[in-house]
């Protein structure tokens, strides 16, 4: 479908954006046109307009209405016995979950079992890619995209061989991408834009914006320095404590302990507690770090071990004499850091995050859905969503579909096929299950839902699958008609630890083929706003559960109000007007967002720092007859390389079982 055929929503110039009941239910932001502006206004389309490709739908996205209702009914035991509709479909492989791990599982299966293998991928959302979603917009003739979920390829030089294989197979050329974007490198810095901290009056007595400013002594950290603090609303003691903990030479706050004892203390003490109780930092200063690590772990600083904070480069540790973290330490654990290995500075961010990888994978699996083939062509590629699930294709992707029950057609040891019972993902009261069969099945969905879908699993495995409670997070992508207010304030990213959204960032300056980064402050740009749902006082897993409930109870209308108020409050002094400067809003809510990562405040240290088979994720991912389990959850890591590696393991487990059928259908963790 050509983009020009999509409807453009017009509104009277200067009109305040009002959300009708119909638009609110549909998840639409009707954007206001700039007063006196004759250029084309922003696109704003309803999420239920099925002729609009999913990436272009605004409003409430991510886990959008219509993607989870059937799963919640299954969880609540509200789906009774149903009649079965026989589709007659049988595939060599059925993959439950069309995220990066599910797409990679299909790729590996075709690579090893043959390109003529028949594969059905079932995905509950209306788009492929899982958490790796693209949000697309068009404003005044300018096409803009930003990631709606998975942000980047982190530490690609440390990717495991299977993840690296996927990138090579689908034509990812990171060196070429870096060359293409090298002219854009450091653009914001060249314009004088820095990182900054916004202190709100509700916590610190008055509003204040601390802009990154270098200290002549070489001390300081990001937006904390003598210069930046001089105009802050902080007390004299809070300023002095911040200067102290960001200095290169600090006291040893754990004097009398050897390095091993210090690291153990840090591993079992939260970062704010370390600052408050051990480093004796003023509470007003500690509050600045109340959201430390939130964008990584989906919880606040109260659930961030101080040891993780040290690894991630937070201040307060230079006097402890902990030494350097050896390069590559724990590099067999997926991802670039998450508190478990030294963070690499090298990351690769496509304009739409890792949605580019999902699009490349789909183009390779089903060539007929797009004319695009190369990495650069993915920037502006059009995809035919109506061609994802056509009869006769070797690979089919069935969107907006939920697998509600998966069972062997016989015993796990003897069955030749597995029945997968499907329903519309948004139907909480389905009248019929549609049965497809797979000779083998990969469960590449959220691991915590698998016990409901495969109730025949052994009890210890179901318990282990339920352990990894995914972290809720929101990426709100806000299209601004210009970013002159950021230029005037001299900021490109704003940390807001006391406000609803804890982070506001200008989109990364990234171009891909015909898709060009916004480099002119007078033109439109997408701003990313991040919110997590920490609940201090609860364990990390319980915080995730409580946060998920709160997220699902939050309406799009509430999100929009918070977005507008926060941007106006921070950017208003620089001339920003939310009534005319906001062109569109897409709220990507992920109640089941990041895979659970083990945490030394709550979990055994062996789970955190080793690959012991005692970890719940190892017990959880054991094969069950003709069913294998993938998804990044199976690696207890939210990173893309984990998703790819777990897909490879799941596929090879199935193929080994097919080749050597005398092997046990349900091996235990000790056999790995």
100-113 and 355-365 helices cross at what angle (nearest 10)?
Answer: 30
Three-point CA angle 120, 68, 589, nearest 5°: 110
* 7 found inside a domain: no
Picking from 84-93, 267-276, 340-349, 391-400, which range would have the lowest pLDDT averaged per residue? 340-349
Distance CA 152, CA 354 (A): 6
Instruction: Note whether 591 and 125 are within 8 A (CB).
Output: no
Distance CA 411, CA 407 (A): 9
Supply the range of the domain harboring residue 295.
193-311
Share above pLDDT 90 across residues of the chain, in percent, rounded to a whole number: 78
Tell me, what's the pLDDT at 344? 56
Distance CA 348, CA 584 (A): 26
What is the pLDDT averaged over residues 481-492? 98
pLDDT at 603 over 80: yes
* 202 found inside a domain: yes
Tokens of 631: 């998804």
Look up tokens 């003023």; give the residue. 282
Could you tell me which residues come within 8 angstroms of residue 375 by beta carbon, excluding any fewer than 6 positions away? 171, 172, 173, 176, 177, 356, 360, 512, 513
pLDDT single digits (tens) 417-461: 999 999 999 999 888 899 999 999 999 999 999 999 999 999 999
How are strands ordered across the β-sheet holding 503-506?
59-62, 582-594, 471-480, 525-532, 503-506, 491-495, 194-199, 208-211
Tell me, what's the pLDDT at 312? 86
Question: In which element (H, E) is residue 558 found?
Answer: helix 556-571
Neighbours of 36 (CB within 10 A): 8
Tell me, what's the pLDDT at 567? 98
* 449 found inside a domain: no
- Short-list 660, 141, 169, 122, CA closest to 418: 122
pLDDT single digits (tens) 344-362: 557 899 999 999 999 999 9
355-365 and 161-169 helices cross at what angle (nearest 10)?
Answer: 60
* 367 found inside a domain: no
Q: How many CA atoms lie within 13 A of 643 on its CB side?
A: 30
Tell me, what's the pLDDT at 666? 76
Tell me, what's the pLDDT at 665? 77
Tell me, what's the pLDDT at 311? 86
Neighbours of 157 (CB within 10 A): 11
Distance CA 604, CA 615 (A): 9
* 448 found inside a domain: no
Q: How many domains does the chain have?
A: 1
* 568 found inside a domain: no
Tell me, what's the pLDDT at 213? 83
Whole-number average pLDDT of the chain: 89
Share above pLDDT 70 across residues of the chain, in percent, rounded to a whole number: 88
- CA dist list (Å): 480 to 425, 565, 583: 33, 14, 6
Distance CA 170, CA 27 (A): 34
* 86 found inside a domain: no
Sorting pLDDT into bands at 50, 70 and 90, what band is 490? very high
Instruction: Note whether 266 and 599 are within 8 A (CB).
Output: no
Neighbours of 202 (CB within 10 A): 10
* 32 found inside a domain: no
Sorting pLDDT into bands at 50, 70 and 90, what band is 336? very low
Partners of 529 in the beta sheet?
476, 504
pLDDT single digits (tens) 284-323: 999 999 999 999 899 999 999 999 999 888 999 999 999 8
Distance CA 387, CA 393 (A): 9
């Amino acid at each position: 479908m050509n983009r020009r055929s999509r409807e453009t929503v017009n509104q009277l110039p200067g009109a305040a954006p009002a959300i009708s009941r119909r638009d609110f239910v549909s998840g639409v932001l009707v954007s206001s046109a700039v007063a006196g502006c004759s250029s084309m206004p922003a696109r704003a389309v309803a999420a239920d307009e099925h002729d609009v490709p999913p990436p272009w739908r605004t409003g409430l996205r991510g886990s959008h209405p219509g993607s989870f209702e059937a799963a919640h009914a299954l969880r609540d035991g509200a789906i009774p016995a149903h009649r079965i509709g026989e589709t007659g479909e049988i595939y060599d492989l059925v993959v439950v979950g069309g995220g990066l791990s599910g797409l990679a599982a299909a790729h590996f299966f075709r690579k090893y079992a043959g390109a003529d293998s028949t594969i059905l991928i079932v995905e509950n959302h209306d788009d492929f890619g899982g958490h790796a979603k693209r949000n697309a917009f068009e404003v005044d003739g300018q096409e803009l995209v930003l990631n709606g979920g998975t942000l980047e390829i982190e530490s690609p030089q440390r990717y495991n061989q299977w993840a690296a294989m996927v990138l090579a197979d689908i034509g990812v050329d990171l060196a070429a991408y870096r060359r293409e974007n090298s002219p854009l490198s450091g653009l914001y810095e060249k314009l004088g834009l820095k990182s900054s901290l916004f202190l709100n009056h509700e916590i610190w007595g008055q509003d204040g914006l601390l802009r990154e400013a270098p200290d002549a002594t070489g001390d300081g950290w990001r937006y904390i320095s003598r210069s930046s603090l001089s105009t802050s609303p902080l007390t004299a003691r809070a300023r002095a404590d911040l200067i102290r903990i960001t200095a290169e030479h600090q006291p040893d706050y754990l004097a009398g302990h050897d390095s091993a004892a210090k690291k153990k203390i840090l591993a079992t003490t939260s970062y704010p507690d370390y600052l408050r109780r051990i480093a004796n930092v003023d509470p007003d200063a500690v509050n600045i770090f109340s959201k430390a690590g939130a964008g990584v772990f989906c919880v606040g600083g109260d659930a961030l071990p101080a040891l993780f904070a040290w690894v991630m480069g937070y201040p307060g540790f230079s006097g402890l004499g902990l030494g350097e973290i050896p390069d590559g330490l724990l590099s067999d654990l997926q991802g670039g850091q998450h508190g478990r290995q030294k963070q690499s500075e090298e990351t690769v961010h496509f304009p739409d995050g890792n949605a580019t990888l999902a699009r490349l994978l789909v183009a390779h699996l089903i060539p007929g859905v797009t004319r695009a083939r190369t990495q650069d062509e993915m920037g502006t590629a059009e995809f035919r969503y109506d061609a994802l699930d056509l009869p006769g294709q070797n690979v089919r992707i069935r969107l907006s579909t939920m697998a509600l029950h998966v069972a062997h057609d016989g015993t796990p040891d003897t069955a030749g096929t597995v029945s997968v019972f499907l329903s519309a993902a948004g139907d909480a009261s389905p009248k019929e299950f549609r049965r497809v069969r797979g000779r083998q099945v990969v469960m590449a969905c959220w691991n915590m839902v698998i016990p409901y879908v495969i109730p025949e699993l052994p009890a210890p495995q179901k318990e282990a699958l339920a352990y990894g409670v995914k972290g809720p997070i929101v990426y709100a992508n806000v299209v601004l008609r210009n970013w002159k207010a950021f230029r005037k304030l001299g900021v490109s990213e704003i940390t807001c630890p006391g406000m609803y959204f804890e982070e506001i960032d200008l989109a990364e300056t990234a171009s891909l083929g015909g898709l060009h980064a916004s480099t002119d402050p007078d033109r439109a740009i997408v701003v990313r706003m991040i919110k997590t749902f920490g609940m201090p006082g609860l364990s990390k897993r319980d915080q995730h559960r409580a946060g998920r409930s709160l997220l699902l109870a939050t309406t799009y209308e509430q999100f929009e109000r918070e977005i507008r108020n926060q941007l106006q409050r921070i950017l208003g002094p620089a001339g920003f007007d939310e009534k005319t400067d906001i062109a569109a809003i897409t709220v990507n809510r992920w109640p089941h967002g990041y895979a659970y990562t083990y945490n030394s405040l709550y979990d055994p240290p062996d789970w955190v720092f080793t690959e012991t088979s005692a970890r719940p994720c190892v017990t959880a991912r054991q094969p069950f007859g003709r069913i294998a389990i993938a998804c990044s959850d199976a690696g207890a890591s939210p990173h893309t390389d984990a998703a790819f590696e777990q897909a490879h393991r799941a596929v090879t487990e199935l193929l080994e079982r097919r080749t050597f059928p005398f092997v046990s259908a349900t091996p235990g963790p000790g056999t790995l």
